Chain A
């Protein structure tokens, strides 16, 4: 079993839809959770950074962490064609620096 599971998609939605992207994980010691967006042939870009359980909102993006279920989500409201990209979840332990553990990435296509 992988430490982090993420459905690779592809996920295709119409413009304006609410998108829900999810990851599950097995290590209950993960404390820090991130979402990265990667456009084709580009490096990943940090979108959201959260610590422990709860919600964090930034514009059209909301990151949600449920540590009891070992489940994290990224919601995109009013999706735009420019949101079409691969979204990678990542997580790490607390206490000093530890490696980032990435999900496989979900490919999202938002069509006009």
Chain B
């Protein structure tokens, strides 16, 4: 259980275009999903918390107009990188809250990630 998918797994785009990344919880409903960014050999950097039916909460320093998040259903959140530039090239990972088997408190299950390269 607690499987999270992402699509696409990688994308190459030209500078100035917008890119949409989908995150889906496959076998459970997720009222809250998270979007992370990861640079090579670095840890995860939380970008925003996505709540179903409401606006996302962005971390300090993350441009909300640059990284649009929509959580339209209990199984789908999308991240749109608008007017992408080479510095937006990175590995984007989503996660969703779920309770592990035998546990009483939620943790996060991660998707496989999306590698974005902006030329």
Chain A residues at the B interface, C-beta cutoff of 8 Å = 8, 32, 34, 36, 41-46, 49, 51, 88, 92, 94, 97, 99-100, 102-105, 107
Whether the Cβ atoms of A99 and B46 lie closer than 8 Å is yes
Chain A residue nearest to B5 (CB atoms) is A43
Whether the Cβ atoms of B103 and A49 lie closer than 8 Å is yes
B37 at interface, CB cutoff 8 A = no
Chain B residues with CB under 8 Å of A94's CB are: 105
B83 at interface, CB cutoff 8 A = no
Whether the Cβ atoms of B100 and A102 lie closer than 8 Å is no
Please give the distance in Å from B38's CB to the nearest CB on chain A: 9
Whether the Cβ atoms of A34 and B107 lie closer than 8 Å is yes
Whether the Cβ atoms of A104 and B110 lie closer than 8 Å is no
Please judge, given known A-B contacts A41-B91, A41-B115, A97-B32, whether A46 and B46 are in contact too, CB under 8 Å. no
